[in-house]
Amino acid sequence: MRIVAAIGGSIIIKGKTYKKFQEYSEILKELSCEHEIFVVVGGGQPAREYIKIARDLGCGEAKCDDLGIEVTRLNAKLLIFALDDFAFPTIPHNFQQALEYSSSEKIVVMGGTEPAHSTDTVGAILAEYVNADMFINLTSVDGMYDKDPNKYPDANLIERITATEMLEFIKEKDVKAGTYEFFDMTAIQMIKRSSLETVIANGNNPENLIKIINKEKIGTRIIFK
Ligand code: UTP
């Protein structure tokens, strides 16, 4: 299978240590023996810290986004270092480059592309661009809930949702640099228009990646009607 995995910065750079980079690199190396893998890495807390400084300096949203993109690429670089020879050494800055680099048969790792969206969207566009069989979004919660699980203990995990229902759900959210909510709108629009097979799951356990690929019931699966 051709797989695009977006790993949230909140997962991979959590605690600012090498650990998750190493854990993910082991899993990705294993998967790359059987599958063609593209990874999009998020910015996480360091991106938000940099963006805050830029905003305090009076920078506008697009510049703040630009800074966020630089941080996602730093995280992507760390994953490339962890993957060593399994990864293509250069970070693509656009989707055409990502496709070109994949002809090396190595794992292609990238961060953000341009302002006004999150790495969730980069993952969805990339999945569309390379005609992926599956788009996996690894985040800091178990999937999509009917309400914020950090605020409401009675929040329920949604195991299956249509892309249309998800769009309705996300509509009212805010889109400031560094503050994109659980999943951004453009990503869902991409998923919807291309009926991308998508699973959103908890990335704190990198083994979940294997479970999703093996079609185990985990996280939230986006369905199409
Ligand atoms: P992320 O998409 O990683 O956002 O990019 P995040 O909120 O930190 O999400 P997690 O925690 O990694 O899951 C960090 C910031 O970089 C900018 C946005 O400002 C985003 O909030 N960015 C990223 C872009 O503007 N364009 C991109 O393609 C990617």
In this predicted model, what pLDDT tens digit does every residue of 27-86 receive, in sequence order? 999 999 999 999 999 999 999 999 999 999 999 999 999 999 999 999 999 999 999 999
Distance 220 CA to ligand 1 centre (A): 21
Confidence at residue 59, expressed as pLDDT on a 0 to 100 scale? 98
More confident residue, 214 or 183: 214
Of the CA atoms within 13 Å of residue 66, those in its CB half-sphere come to: 7
Confidence at residue 115, expressed as pLDDT on a 0 to 100 scale? 97
Residue 71 CA: distances (Å) to CA of 66, 77, 106, 108, 180 = 9, 10, 23, 17, 15
Interatomic CA distance for residues 199 and 89, integer angstroms: 27
- Among 10, 39, 72, say which to mutate for ligand 1: greatest number of ligand atoms within 8 Å of CB: 72
Confidence at residue 150, expressed as pLDDT on a 0 to 100 scale? 78
Query: Whose C-alpha lies nearest to ligand 1, atom 21?
Result: 178
In the chain, what percentage of residues exceed pLDDT 70? 95
Amino acid, single-letter form, for residue 194: S
pLDDT at 225 over 80: no
Interatomic CA distance for residues 190 and 180, integer angstroms: 17
Interatomic CA distance for residues 167 and 185, integer angstroms: 7
Where does ligand 1 bind, in terms of residues with CB under 6 Å? 8-10, 42-44, 47, 65, 68-69, 72, 112-119, 122, 177-178, 180
The distance of Cα 158 from the centroid of its chain, to the nearest Å, equals 19
Q: Tell me the average pLDDT across 129-143.
A: 95
- Residues in CB range of 83: below 8 A, 6 or more apart: 25, 28, 29, 107, 109
- Among 180, 182, 186, 190, say which to mutate for ligand 1: greatest number of ligand atoms within 8 Å of CB: 180
Alpha helices (runs of H) in 84-195, residue ranges in sequence order:
95-102, 119-129, 163-170, 185-194
Q: Please report the atom of ligand 1 found closest to the CA of residue 116.
A: 25
- Tell me the pLDDT band of 175, cut-offs 50, 70 and 90: very low
- Among 118, 136, 150, 179, say which to mutate for ligand 1: greatest number of ligand atoms within 8 Å of CB: 118
Q: Tell me the average pLDDT across 11-35.
A: 97
Q: Yes or no: say if 220 and 146 are a contact pair by the CB < 8 Å rule.
A: no
